[in-house]
Amino acid sequence: MNPNCNLRPYSSKVVDGVERAASRAMLHAVGFKRSDFSKPQVGIASTWSMVTPCNMHINKLAEAAGVGADQAGGKSVIFNTITISDGISMGTEGMKYSLVSREVIADSIETVAGCEGFDGLVAIGGCDKNMPGCLIALARLNRPSIFVYGGTILPGCHHGRDVDIVSVFEAVGRHARGEIGDRELAQIEKTAIPGEGSCGGMYTANTMASAIEALGMSLPNSSSRIAASADKEKECVAAGAAVLELIRKGIRPSDILTRKAFLNAITVVTALGGSTNAVLHLLAMAHAANVKLSIDDFTRIGKKTPVLADLKPSGKYVMADLAAIGGVAPLMKRLLAAGLLDGDCLTVTGKTLKQNLARVKGYPRGQDIIRPMNRPIKKDGHLVILRGNLAPEGAVAKITGKEGLYFKGTAIVFESEEEALKRILDGTVQSGHVVVIRTEGPRGGPGMREMLAPTSAIVGRGLGKDVALITDGRFSGGSHGFVIGHVTPEAVCGGPIAVVKDGDLIEIDAAKRAITLKVSKAELKRRLAAWTPPKPRRTRGVLVKYARQVASASLGAVTDL
């Protein structure tokens, strides 16, 4: 009997015994030596692609993780999954495939690992859907696993000032209002993205990487290392080796992905001022891990957790600045000391969160990226779950405090993102409007597009404090202003947002966590009774399959209920 059989519960079924000779023959052809068949097999899931700068370097990191696994006594096998680019497809029909890609990534990793019999996994992601997609797969498979974040991009520079992808979107709005010309817009476009790595602010990629670190599924400070750094490659080698330790100790994602760990993740996302997409993705990840989590948990955590990070899009700094002063780990240590994190949660190091943070140094004196607990940017959470007759199942607002807590205005209704963007840029949208973009939910889109183009155009036109935007779609982590997404039920399912009319009065009260269409109950009932579903926008293909399977955004837009 092979002495390592207990370390190979899956690969042994694929390669052991005379009857598996054909399987071994295939593996010889891809580089296996005879001795490799007695080693635990570690699948390295790479999201490499030249589609986007977020992922253009991931294969190099995958190779480093493979070296770490091999040196630690395993046999690494690198395989690929897809990625798409939100930043490139934003504002187009292509963006409808963004959230769909989360499911494709999860399904493809589960498919390959389940078929090939890997005993452990390292998943490496760059663009924002990669992170939850990878974690959903690791949770479903429940084999010893680690996630590695591909890392944040360095900021670009324009006229001595840091710029990034959101700077370009906002420059489009500035151009529309005549503040800058074609030449300067082109200069910002050329300088904003200097190389590899995910979008630099506390947008969705950096938010989800930080959440996964808080969950305990990545090595300490994975979320705040720069993509173009030697430290990121070293981390990948360490991650490959660490998976072998998890295999030896029998530690699986189900041991790490507990309810308390998810509450830790929500706390860290809140303190960082992270993306609204964290609500959608953490719900989906918890579902995959069989952990009960709801949108109300974000409200509960938000009531006691302050926003401490002055990071873009609403703040001044980018993730590279945070990395320079120590990353996310010192923030977590501060939250632990304040009693806001559960330090007993197990992590992929084999140690508890408290043990991991014990030797972490605090931030240097004089830094103003992370505020002290007694001087927060906002005393409570920025992710506000709103309910009311316009969103009976809830909606998600990102209220940093800079846009105020209350807005009341008249509705101007659009049936698509493109239609709304056109009217924002041509001046139809004016101060006092509540822009309503509907039929953009998970089923209605299909695909629940992010509304970065309209929100950036509003800010670029100088209307950030004077116009609100609500949608059954969602927002990029780069969106800021008075914006409310994930309105549920969505329009295509007959939610009240489907019957809002131009000129209706809408009241948004973040303090009361309420969003209200100011019409009578009788009038709302009459409108809903007269409503008929729109014809599907697609009749064939992956978007149709997605629309048939996807659940409400309030449940994480999962596809396997």
84-136, pLDDT tens digit by residue?
A: 998 899 889 999 999 999 999 999 999 999 999 999 999 999 999 999 999 99
Q: Is 418 annotated as a binding residue?
A: no
Question: C-alpha angle 106/10/143, rounded to 5°?
Answer: 45
**In whole angstroms, what is the distance from residue 554 CA to residue 489 CA?**
8
The pair of structure tokens assigned to 103 is 């499911």
Q: Is 479 helix (H, G, I), strand (E, B) or coil?
A: coil
DSSP lists the bridge partners of residue 317 as 311
Q: Is 129 annotated as a binding residue?
A: yes
pLDDT of residue 165: 85
Structural domains of the chain, with CATH: 5-11+36-154+195-357 (3.40.50.2300), 383-555 (3.50.30.80)
Q: Is 128 annotated as a binding residue?
A: yes
**Full-model pTM:** 0.95
Low-confidence ranges of the chain (pLDDT < 70): 1-5
**In whole angstroms, what is the distance from residue 227 CA to residue 230 CA?**
9
Q: What is the 8-class DSSP label of residue 461?
A: T
Q: Is 297 annotated as a binding residue?
A: no
Question: C-alpha angle 44/47/52, rounded to 5°?
Answer: 155
Query: Nearest-CA neighbor of 417 among 537, 304, 266, 560?
Result: 537
91, 475 Cβ separation under 8 angstroms:
no
Work out whether strand 41-46 and strand 120-125 pair parallel, antiparallel, or are unpaired: parallel
**In whole angstroms, what is the distance from residue 302 CA to residue 373 CA?**
14
Q: Is 405 helix (H, G, I), strand (E, B) or coil?
A: coil
Annotated active-site residue in 46, 145, 476, 552: 476
DSSP lists the bridge partners of residue 397 as 384, 484
Question: C-alpha angle 65/68/69, rounded to 5°?
Answer: 90
pLDDT of residue 2: 47
Burial of 344 from C-beta contacts in 10 A (0-12 / 13-18 / 19+): exposed
Q: How far is CA 351 from the centre of its chain?
A: 26
pLDDT of residue 476: 83
**In whole angstroms, what is the distance from residue 483 CA to residue 398 CA?**
7
DSSP lists the bridge partners of residue 123 as 45, 147
**In whole angstroms, what is the distance from residue 10 CA to residue 267 CA?**
36
The pair of structure tokens assigned to 308 is 């401490």
**In whole angstroms, what is the distance from residue 243 CA to residue 69 CA?**
7
* Catalytic residue check, 476: yes
95, 87 Cβ separation under 8 angstroms:
no
H or E element, residue 425: helix 417-425
What's the chain's length in residues? Answer: 561
pLDDT of residue 453: 87
